[in-house]
Each structure stands twice: as C-alpha cells, then as structure tokens.
Amino acid sequence: MRLKYRLEAEKIVNKKTVIFEWIIIVFYFLLSIIFLVTGLVFFNKGSSYFNNLVFAIKDENGGELAKSASEQENTAFSFTAWTELKNEYASDASGTRRCNTDIIFICGSSHSLLPFGKNIPIEDKKGCIAGSKVVEKLFGTHNAEGMEILWNNNRWVIRQVVKEPSDLLLVQASGLTDKISFDKISVALPESTDKKLAGEKLASYYGITGYPLRWDYLYGIGWLREIVPGKWSDFDGWKQNMQEYKKAVDIIKNTEKSTIETTGLSYKRKGYWMVIAGIILLAAGSFKIVSKIPVRNKNFLLKTGKKYLHFFKI
C-alpha cells in the first residue's frame, strides 16, 4: 500500500516537473522572439542613420567642396558639405538663455545627413533643426518651431524639433562658407548603391584627398558582400578586400563621432546584442527540447536525416 502511494506521488511530482520544464521551454522561445524582433527594430533604426556615404576630407578641400555643393545642378553627385563644432554656446533670440552643445553646420540638403523628418534645403540659409533637449534648455518647451536660435551673432529659425538625436543642433551654413571650414561631405545614395564604388567615383570626380567613413561596417554583416571578389577563386582579391575592410574599421574606430552618428551607432549596438541574446535563448530552448527526446527517437531522427541527405546527394 505504501509502495502504491509512493509511486503515485512520484508520478505526480514527475508530471509537475515535466509541465514546469515545458513552461521554461515556452518561456525561452517567447523571450527569444521578443529579443529578436526588438533587436531587429533597433538595428534597422540605427542603420537608417547610415544610408548615405560620409567622406572625411582635408581642410584645403572644404571650401571648394562647399562651393560645389552650392552649384550642384550640373554635377553628377548630390552631396552636402558639413562639419561639427564641439562645445559651442547657443542662445535664444534675446540671448538670455544659453546652452552648451555641439553644432553641425551644413552646406547642402539636411537629408544627406539626417535622412528623415523635414529637409533643410541649401536655399534656406536661416533654417535649422534642433533636438528636444536643446530647445528645452533654450525655451523651456518642445513647441519651438518658428523660434530663433542665436550663435556668434548669426540667427537661425527652427524648422523642426526632433526627439532624436535629442541634443542635435543642425544649421544651414550655406551663407557662411567663408567663415566655416568644412571637413566632411555626405552623399545621398539609393539603398542598393555600392558604397565602395560610389566613394571611389566621388573621389575621382572631385579630386578629393580623403577617405570614406564606413559606419555601416560596425555591428552588422553587410560588409561581407563587399569583400567577395569577382571570382571566388581570386585569393589575392579576398586578401586585398579583407585588408581594406580592416583599414576602414580602424579608421572609424579612431574617428570622433558626430551627434547623429553617435545616436545611430547606439541603436545598432543595442539591436546587435539583443539579436545575439535572442539567438542564444532560441538555441537554449531548442537544446532543452532535443534533450527531452528519448534515445530511440533520436536514433530514428538521425537515420531519417541521413537517408534524406543521401537522397539529395544522388
């Protein structure tokens, strides 16, 4: 009688254990889906900041390129010359409220840098885009469109307030090309464009002495497409492309990031690690399921798998 009760108790405990294990497995899979979906959303949002090609140029080219940006009707490329000045003081129109921020000065379309939201065209010499933190400090409100920002006796009218980057202050400087030294250009490119080839053509067209900043190489595998040579058997091509990739990564790791680039990389980094976490959770859940399959069934699955593999080889 005691043995019977003990066996029944063990069955109940085993049943509860099995139910608990399946709950854990379902939890793993649900959590992995959440991490994977959220990670992809973050990663794609971060990647949207780097759809265009950024080129670092030497100071002596900046003035000429800014002039070219102002005369783009007959040029082969649509680009924007720009630079970012760190720790600058901006104020409201009266000068009573000030804040310390990094200011991006552009000569060209703002969509070449920030490819969403309102566009500040090169003709709008008094237009600017400000982040929510900047306008909060200067005006005490986020409803600041149409208000003026003052920097070094120059005034700009806020065309749009953006939530991200919240500390952004991007101003059209097409009327200040004689006062601002531009050291970067951003080229507007369609999504399917080969950035490596586009960079080479741009450098050749304008005689640029500089180098592309391939922020899209970080936290992703899209760069793998560019290291594949024309022929798979071209080992010298593999080697050369890999060396160019490593050089490009070394450059961006040692390059100071702008406000826009910092925000984009932050999203890509979060998305990358969330996807990795999702894959690990998915693998853990799958391992738990496989570990619950009886040995006899495992052997059957292995034999069936080998059978189909042999079929496809034939």
- Interval 108-155: pLDDT, tens: 899 988 888 889 999 999 999 999 999 999 999 889 999 999 998 899
Give domain status of residue 282, yes or no: no
The upper half-sphere exposure of residue 264, i.e. CA atoms within 13 Å in the direction of its Cβ, equals 22
The upper half-sphere exposure of residue 146, i.e. CA atoms within 13 Å in the direction of its Cβ, equals 1
**Nearest C-alpha neighbor of 53 from the set 226, 231, 274, 236:** 226
Contact assessment for residue 126 and residue 156, using Cβ atoms and an 8 Å cutoff: yes
**Nearest C-alpha neighbor of 218 from the set 280, 264, 164:** 264
Residue-averaged pLDDT of the chain: 81
Contact assessment for residue 127 and residue 156, using Cβ atoms and an 8 Å cutoff: yes
Q: Kindly compute the dihedral angle of the four CA atoms of residues 257, 198, 211, 213, in this order, to the nearest 10 degrees.
A: 20
Instruction: Count the Cβ atoms, other than its own, within 10 Å of residue 303.
Output: 9
Give domain status of residue 166, yes or no: yes
Give domain status of residue 101, yes or no: yes
Cα 222 to Cα 225: distance, rounded to the nearest angstrom: 6
21-70 pLDDT, tens digit per residue, is: 778 888 889 999 999 999 999 999 998 888 888 888 865 555 555 555 55
Cα–Cα distances in Å, from 215 out to 40, 86, 111, 177? 18, 20, 17, 27
Tokens of 67: 């002039």
Give domain status of residue 195, yes or no: no
Give domain status of residue 169, yes or no: yes
Q: How confident is the model at residue 311 (pLDDT cuts 50, 70, 90)?
A: very low
Cis previous bond, 165, omega within 30 = yes
**Comparison of pLDDT for 89 and 229, the residue scoring more:** 89
Give me the count of residues in the chain. Answer: 314
Give domain status of residue 196, yes or no: no
Give domain status of residue 116, yes or no: yes
Domain span including residue 111: 52-188
**Nearest C-alpha neighbor of 77 from the set 187, 212, 3, 177:** 187
Give domain status of residue 67, yes or no: yes
234-252 pLDDT, tens digit per residue, is: 778 788 888 888 988 898 8
Q: What are phi and psi of 225, to 5 degrees?
A: -65, -35
- In three-state secondary structure terms, 245 is helix
How many domains is the chain partitioned into structurally? 1
Cα 207 to Cα 18: distance, rounded to the nearest angstrom: 70
Q: How confident is the model at residue 3 (pLDDT cuts 50, 70, 90)?
A: low
Cα–Cα distances in Å, from 312 out to 177, 307, 309? 66, 9, 5
Tell me the Cα Rg of the chain: 28
